[in-house]
Structure 1
C-alpha cells in the first residue's frame, strides 16, 4: 500500500534552508496533484511550532502530518531525501521526510502505523538513506510489504 502512494511523489535534494522549507518541498508533489492544499502544509508546520519535533519519529526521519480536516483532498504520501541534514527544533537532524495526508483518522493511523513498523528496521532505514531515485525507494518499501 505504501509503495503505491509514493509513485510519482518522491523528491531528492541536496539541501534546504530550514525545516519549514523541508516540509514545503516534501509536500510539493501532493500540492501539484491537488491531493492536499497549502492549508495542510501550513498546518504541518504549525504542529511543529506548537508541539516541537514530535514528527521526528526515529533519528533522521520525520513524518510531517496534520489533522485530516486541514486541507486533505485525497489520502496520499510523499517522500523526500536530503543529502545534507536539516535541523528541526530541539536539535533533531532530519534527512528523510515522509509527508502523510489522510482524509480520515482511521486511514491516518494506519499509514502512521505501517510506516512506523517499516522504519524501526535498521536495514530499511540504511537502504532509504542510500537510495538515489524513486525506483530504489519504492523497491525498498515493496520488500517490506511482501
Structure 2
C-alpha cells in the first residue's frame, strides 16, 4: 500500500476548480504507478455525476472511483491547497485537503478509510497538516 509517501504529497498547490484539484491529486497516484490515467477521469466523472459526496468533513475531500477504473495498487495521495476551494458541499466547504484514494477491493478501501479516519479525527493533526512546512512534518503524524 502506498499511503501518503513523500512523492504522493503536494503542499500549497494552486488550483482554481475542484476538477483541477482532483486531477492534481490523481496525477500523484499515476506518477507513482498506483493507478492508471483512466482513474483520474473516473474520479472526475464521479464528481460530475454525484456531486461533492466525498467532502466528508470540514476542509476534507476524499475523491475516489471504483477499483475497476484503473487501480493497480492501494494508495492515497494528498494535495494541500494554497487557497481553500468550494466543492459544493454546504456543510464542509471550503476544502483545503484533498486525499485521492485508490483501492483495488472493498477491504482495501475500508483499510485506507480507517487509517485516514484515525489521522483526521484528531483536531491537532489537522492543525499540523495545515501548518506543516515540509513532508517530514506530515510524515511524523503517521508514526
Query: Within the alignment, does 1:127 sit opposite 2:125 as a pair?
Result: no
Q: Following TM superposition, by how much is the alpha carbon of 1:116 offset from its aligned partner in structure 2, in angstroms?
A: 1.8
Distance in 1 (CA, whole Å) between partners of 2:111 and 2:13 is 31
Task: Describe the SS at the equivalent of 1:80.
Answer: strand
Distance in 2 (CA, whole Å) between partners of 1:86 and 1:98 is 14
Q: Following TM superposition, by how much is the alpha carbon of 1:55 offset from its aligned partner in structure 2, in angstroms?
A: 1.0
Q: Following TM superposition, by how much is the alpha carbon of 1:113 offset from its aligned partner in structure 2, in angstroms?
A: 2.2
1:1-146 matched pairs, under 5 angstroms: 5-7=3-5, 8-90=7-89, 92-142=93-143
**Retained in 2: the 8 A contact 1:15–1:86?**
no
Distance in 1 (CA, whole Å) between partners of 2:89 and 2:9 is 26
**Retained in 2: the 8 A contact 1:79–1:96?**
yes
**Retained in 2: the 8 A contact 1:75–1:102?**
yes
Distance in 2 (CA, whole Å) between partners of 1:58 and 1:129 is 15
Mean alpha-carbon deviation: is it higher for 17-26 or for 46-55?
Answer: 46-55
Q: Following TM superposition, by how much is the alpha carbon of 1:111 offset from its aligned partner in structure 2, in angstroms?
A: 0.6
Q: Following TM superposition, by how much is the alpha carbon of 1:48 offset from its aligned partner in structure 2, in angstroms?
A: 1.7
Distance in 2 (CA, whole Å) between partners of 1:104 and 1:134 is 28
Can you list the C-alpha shifts for 1:39-69, whole angstroms capped at 9, x where unaligned?
1111111222222211111111111111111
**Retained in 1: the 8 A contact 2:8–2:32?**
no
Can you list the C-alpha shifts for 1:83-127, whole angstroms capped at 9, x where unaligned?
201111245211111111011111111111221232121111111
RMSD: 1.6
Distance in 1 (CA, whole Å) between partners of 2:97 and 2:89 is 17
